[in-house]
Amino acid sequence: MTDILASLYPWTKALHIVSVVAWMAGIFYLPRLFVYHAEKITAGTETDALFQEMERKLLRLIMNPSMIATWVFGLMLMFTPGIVDWGMVWPWTKAAGVVAMTWFHHWLGLRRKDFAAGRNSLPGRRYRMMNELPTLLLVLIVFSVVLKF
């Protein structure tokens, strides 16, 4: 099995990067949609329905599949011989960042359900503030992998 992973390494790495980029695009965009939804849209209107559809499709058709692909290809990389030295700090900081990003993804999913049920209670300002979290996590993850600290 490890021979197969080693031979697939360049493909796995490329697919992991593509998956991460797609996931991050959604992670950055969905909270921004929530900002406008919370600040500018009245519940029960046609525009509210449009925003709900955009948010649902972004989450289900782009973010969920790309998050799953990120995890699958990331785990494949993790089990590829010679790629990860668990005696170093960087795999642990990266793993913590990815777990936190996954938590944020699910938090966004719960907020989408709140909008769909007409019970969003968070103001646009909160979504703006929360939109900074994935940037910080991305910096942690990228610096961990590239600088290997």
Q: 3 or 30: whose pLDDT is higher? A: 30
The model scores a pTM over 0.85: yes
Instruction: Give the confidence band of 1 by pLDDT, cuts at 50, 70, 90.
Output: confident
Q: Write out the residue range of the structural domain in which residue 101 sits.
A: 2-147
pLDDT of 139 reads: 97
- Mean pLDDT (the chain) is 96
How many CB atoms sit inside 10 A of residue 139's CB? 11
Stretch 97-119: mean pLDDT: 97
pLDDT of 2 reads: 72
Instruction: Give the confidence band of 149 by pLDDT, cuts at 50, 70, 90.
Output: confident
Q: How far is CA 128 from CA 25, 35, 68, 99, 135, in A?
A: 16, 7, 25, 21, 12
**Dihedral pair phi/psi, residue 106, rounded to 5°:** -70, -35
Terminal Cα-to-Cα distance of the chain (whole angstroms): 29
Domain count, the chain: 1
Instruction: Give the confidence band of 54 by pLDDT, cuts at 50, 70, 90.
Output: very high
Stretch 108-123: mean pLDDT: 96
pLDDT of 39 reads: 96
d(CA 73, CA 68): 9
